[in-house]
Structure 1
Amino acid sequence: MTTNHPAVDVGTARRAGLTTRWPWMLLAAGVLGFLGSLLHPMGDPTLTGDAALAAEVGDPLWVPSHVLILAFTVLLVPGLLGLARSGALSGRARTAALVAMGAAVLWVVESVPHLLAVTDHHALLTGQPAPLVTTHLVGASIVYPLAGFSIAALALLGGRRLAHPVLNALGALGSVAFGIAPIAYDVLGITEAGDLFAGSLLLTAWIAVVGATALVRKRSAAS
């Protein structure tokens, strides 16, 4: 006699789906995040303070860039959770994946005012309060280090179970640079540190590589 428990069955099905689909989620997340980072408006080195911020948020590429980045963070959460549950990682590597997933949740939250900061463009130009820009800057100084350092730890601890060691090293390097960027640039005011934000390109590319590598390995195992 078989007894069905709908709640248990649905929960099991969801976990099974997450376990099998996480490579696609990471691949899609990485591609979207890379494109979003690539499109991100470049700061004008001749401007400072509110004028520099106004130039960035007023750029036509601000919205499409940050829509892609928001989509990246939304997909990153289940992708990392699925990776942690897949059995591909154990010990400290699995812990790093779970910590990175938690940081990704915060990144989703931070990405919303980051995207909507475009509405503060006029306020920045006229010297008025810009609450969404302020929320983004404060959030980034907390979230980016958490995300960057935890993803770097995952890249180093995961080893060949995730990707080639050289690619892992590049992913970790980009993640650390991205994590340091808001502290050095926004908090400490080191203008040259703005280039560290480009670490997001390596971070997102590595996320895509992890997803693609897992898909190739699954296909090879099935054949």
Structure 2
Amino acid sequence: MAQQWHCEQWARTVAKQVCLLCLSVCISVGFPLQAKTVTVAAGAWGDMTAANGGGLYFQVLREALGGADIELKFRVANWKRAKQMFYANRADLLLADYRSVGSRQFFPLWHLDMDPPVVLFSLQTFVSAEKLKDKTVGWLLGYEFDQFLPVSVNGVEVSAEQFGFDMLEYGRLDAYISYDNNVPQTLRPKLKRLQLAPAQPLYPVFQNTFAGRQLAAEFDRGMQRLYQSGRLAQIYAEHFQQAGFPALQR
């Protein structure tokens, strides 16, 4: 009886394994698995991250992750909203931010671009950032440029760069923090400048999960492949040197 029972158990086990094998074959042949969907939250940065899915950063992501079975979905908003989407776990990837310490985010080895120096603009001279204590200082919504200030200020977030410079010109702000390429031409001769932070790399930010770290590793492999083939230089074109990648070996 014991021998018969063991034989029956063995037969059931074999039958179960055969069924699972057949099922896996049916899935792989008759019902192909869909690509993994990766949601990308990004700030609206003109030619870098266009609302229609165009732009340099999106193209780089497509090609760097092109070797994996991945479908990218782009969500473009203001920077504050993009960050909220990522940290609420409604996006797998955030474009793009400085490398920082934290448990929620994971940074790859390869960066996307170099952010220009962060500059404080004013109509009066501030010999040091310490002199800004309790002054009214503005910056673009979500940019958190007060992280570069050694003193507390009355921070004002604006929805557009032009609004910030207008408020500065008409005396509603003591200073405004931005980048030099955002300064209106007519205002340039009037402004005093104080650099708060040097140029630094911008990274795609991944969720600090097993899946997020895998995706970051896939991005690094893709960027290395694009770099070694010379394709990365083609994608960035005249922007390649400014992006701060190693010089290509000729």
Q: Same fold (TM over 0.5)?
A: no
The structure whose residues are more often strand, as a share, is 2
Larger Rg, first or second structure (1 or 2): 2
What TM-score comes out, normalization by structure 1 length?
Answer: 0.27
What TM-score comes out, normalization by structure 2 length?
Answer: 0.25
